[in-house]
Amino acid sequence: MAHQKQLPYGFDDRWLMLFGIPIIGFLMPPIFFDTPVSFDTYYFRKSVVSMFYTMLYWGICRQVFIRATVKFPEYYQNSKRILWIGTLCIAIILTFCNVLHFCIEPYLGLALDRMPTTPQINAASLMTFGIIAGIYESVRNFNLWKKTSLEKEQLERENLQSQLAGLKSQVNPHFLFNSLNTLVHLIPENPDSAIKFVQKLSKVYRYILEMRDAPTTPLSTELEFLNAYVFLLKERFGDNLKVEIADAICLDKVHQLAQPLMDSAKSTCYSTVCEKHIVPLSLQILFENAIKHNIISAQRPLTISVSIENNERLIVKNNLQRKNQIQEGTGVGLQNIRNRYQLVSQKDVDIIVTQESFIVSLPLLKTENQLVTA
């Protein structure tokens, strides 16, 4: 572990050195010194000398790389770091190479008439440095890229989670205020409806709390929540708000997940559709978005429909009758849904705006997707 901790570029190079030095040492004689590969004593001596040089250069490069990486750790310092490494390593390696070649090798009995020339040993030394530098740079850059990618992904995930938490905190006060106003009027006029209203309101808030950390939720669970949420909206807006749910996902059948609808001509198998997943609270956000930005009145009722397309996408559509708003909406809710789908499935949320309608198409996920953790 101590060996690995001193490496600022983040990998244990012991196995790399163990195999790399003999391989480079064995291949240098035939590549640079016109020495055919053989298994005689001369080639063995040549390989040993080549391995000695390789081990020496590797140790030099490794120490220079460690110090350069500590001295210039940031991306924007790459040019300085590479210049520093190249200048220092080349100067040291060429000095060692020529001193050893003229002072040591003549005494090793390697047949002086077949000794490599100075340009050959310098070229071989620089090539060895290039190979070693390429290996360390590649591994370092890969580790930095991987670390940066993980950090970026972590930041994106935290950002999306904070956005979702922010949306929930925004929804809670306004929605609760409107719901309580509705409840105040219901209690004296219709106590039984008031009790049911409180039950539905409790169910809505329980779902919001339960889905706080869930990346996806079964469509059937989201539909049960929508059933309670629509009840509250209908109490508030009455017939001015019309909600149309396609037969294939009829809300009064949310507890019959194992049973297909009898009328197969009108709908697909309900259990098959509801086994799929969507991101939680997406339907609530889309309904709230439609109510926030459109006129709702007896003369101009708002209609929101939910349907299935090709058993692969959930379509939420409302007629478009925009309010005369001084300031356009921020689009945070829609962007949050898009971002969360990208995070869990890499599938796109399609938004289509026409003169008459606003349509959002949500992908239905086959299985529950999980966020990637660092």
Q: How far apart are CA 224 and CA 227, in angstroms?
A: 5
- Say yes or no to pLDDT of 169 above 80: no
What residues contact 36, with CB distance under 8 A and at least 6 apart? Answer: 30, 43
pLDDT of residue 262 exceeding 60, the answer is no
Among 260-274, 297-311, 347-361, name the one with the lowest average pLDDT: 260-274
Count the Cβ atoms, other than its own, within 10 Å of residue 279: 28
Please state at what angle helix 118-189 crosses helix 282-293, rounded to 10 degrees: 60
Q: Which residue has the higher pLDDT, 191 or 266?
A: 191
Q: What pLDDT is stored for residue 287 in this prediction? A: 92
Return the residue matching tokens 């049973």.
259
Cβ neighbourhood burial of 61 (10 Å; 0-12, 13-18, 19+): buried
Give the residue, 325 or 288, on which the prediction is more confident: 288
Q: What is the mean pLDDT of residues 222-247?
A: 87
- Tell me what the mean pLDDT of segment 14-31 comes to: 77
How many Å apart are CA 288 and CA 299, to the nearest integer?
20
- Element holding 344 (H helix, E strand): helix 332-344
The pLDDT of residue 306 is 92
Average pLDDT in the 16-27 region?
78
pLDDT above 50 for 267: no
Q: Which residue has the higher pLDDT, 145 or 286?
A: 286
Q: Residues 341-346: what's their mean pLDDT?
A: 78
Residue 336 scores a pLDDT above 70: yes
Percent of all residues in the chain with a pLDDT value above 90, rounded to a whole number: 12
Buried b (16+ CB within 10 A) or exposed e, 262-277: eeeeebbebeebbebb
Domain ranges of the chain: 2-149, 190-363
370: CB partners within 8 A, 6+ apart: 215, 344
Mean pLDDT rounded to a whole number for the chain = 75
**CA angle (310 as vertex; 307, 316 as ends), nearest 5:** 25
Return the pLDDT at 70.
80
Per-residue confidence at 212, pLDDT binned at 50, 70, 90? low
Taking only the tens place, the pLDDT of each residue in 65-85 is 888 878 887 777 778 888 888
pLDDT of residue 284 exceeding 70, the answer is yes
In CATH terms, the fold of domain 190-363 is Heat Shock Protein 90 (3.30.565)
Sign of CA dihedral 273, 279, 283, 286: negative
324 burial (CB, 10 Å; 0-12 / 13-18 / 19+) is exposed
More confident residue, 177 or 325: 177
Please report the pLDDT score of residue 353 as a whole number: 93
Nearest Cα to 274, choosing from 291, 294, 292, 254? 254
pLDDT of residue 269: 40
Q: What is the pTM of this model?
A: 0.54
pLDDT band, very low/low/confident/very high, at 264 (cuts 50, 70, 90): very low
The mean-pLDDT minimum among 95-104, 199-208, 279-288, 349-358 falls in: 95-104
Asked if pLDDT for residue 1 goes beyond 60, the answer is: no
**25-47 tens-digit pLDDT:** 777 777 766 667 666 676 677 77
10: number of Cβ within 10 Å: 14
In the prediction, which pLDDT does 160 show? 66
Q: Do the beta carbons of residue 240 and residue 321 sit within 8 Å?
A: no
Question: Which residue spans within the chain are E strands per DSSP?
Answer: 217-218, 241-245, 277-278, 302-309, 313-319, 350-353, 357-363
Residue 50 predicted with pLDDT over 80: no
Distance CA 201, CA 227 (A): 11
What pLDDT shows up at residue 251?
A: 46
Q: Which residues contact 118 (CB under 8 A, 6 or more apart)?
A: 98, 101
